[in-house]
Structure 1
Amino acid sequence: MENFQNLRVYQLSEKLANEIWFIVINWDYFAKDTIGKQLVKSTDSIGANIAEGNGRYNLQDNQRFVKIARGSLNETRHWLRLAYQRKLLTQDQIDKIKPIIDELSPKLNAYLNSLKSKSEKN
């Protein structure tokens, strides 16, 4: 098993989580307490699940955690849409976040597919 910190998919999830954190930290209390907490939790969950899955020595468990990470990415998209619609995000912030998500999403799928290929060989 490769160290999760060396995985590009993990590095992207960490980059996204940190970008979100430094945006939300500047919101007012109400926005932080509602959308902000949910957004930070869902974004942090992407990398956390990649890390946890990588720590499992069973490929099926690892696949399950990557699927959870993919679900957390979709949840993050939901919260980002609401935050933008509610004027909590600027276009500049979206322009900074979107390329990370656009790279992360297919990388998560590719990572899952590589784990499936490995489990089929075993």
Structure 2
Amino acid sequence: MRTTGFDNLRVYRAAEDLADSIWKIVIGCETFARDTVGRQLVRAADSIGANIAEGAGRGSFQHNRRFIRIARGSLNETRHWLRRAHRRKLLSASDTERLSASF
């Protein structure tokens, strides 16, 4: 696959890795957990990388900066859903710590 600017950013690759790790955990959850907290967690995590990519493709520093801020908001939302999943016993302490350590 040919790479463009954002593909080579460490932060983008870290966002991809985080989203993929979350997906692997959520896909194994029972239906109710997967359809509530799991769905929100996956969407928030996927939005981090998506906003980095979109900002890079907008062609201006101002647009890129705006989408980086949105990505930071998605990261905070992901943190929130990780906390909810852990408190509701959908994630183990070790999974929560491992995922949290990636950001």
Does the pair score TM above 0.5?
Answer: yes
Task: Provide the rounded CA distance (Å) in 2 between the counterparts of 1:44 and 1:92.
Answer: 22
Partner of 2:76: 74
Partner of 1:32: 34
Indicate the SS of the match to 2:59: coil
Task: Provide the rounded CA distance (Å) in 1 between the counterparts of 2:82 and 2:97.
Answer: 12
Q: Unpaired runs of 5+ in structure 1?
A: 102-122
Task: Provide the rounded CA distance (Å) in 2 between the counterparts of 1:92 and 1:72.
Answer: 22
Q: Give me the identity figure in percent.
A: 57
Larger radius of gyration: 1
**Match status 1:22 vs 2:16:** no
Task: Provide the rounded CA distance (Å) in 2 between the counterparts of 1:21 and 1:44.
Answer: 9
Which consecutive aligned stretches of 4+ in structure 1 deviate over 2 angstroms post-superposition? none
RMSD: 0.9
Task: Provide the rounded CA distance (Å) in 2 between the counterparts of 1:83 and 1:61.
Answer: 33
The amino acid of 1:43's aligned partner reads: A
| TM-score, normalization by structure 1 | 0.79
Indicate the SS of the match to 1:87: coil
Partner of 1:64: 66
**Match status 1:43 vs 2:45:** yes
| TM-score, normalization by structure 2 | 0.93
How many residue pairs are counted as aligned between the two chains? 100
The amino acid of 1:72's aligned partner reads: S
| Higher relative contact order, chain-length normalized (CA < 8 Å, sep 6+) | 1
Task: Provide the rounded CA distance (Å) in 1 between the counterparts of 2:7 and 2:33.
Answer: 31
Residue 95 of structure 1 and its aligned partner are, at CA, apart by 2.7
The amino acid of 1:81's aligned partner reads: R
1:72-111 alpha-carbon deviations (Å, 9 max, x no partner): 000001101110000000122123212102xxxxxxxxxx
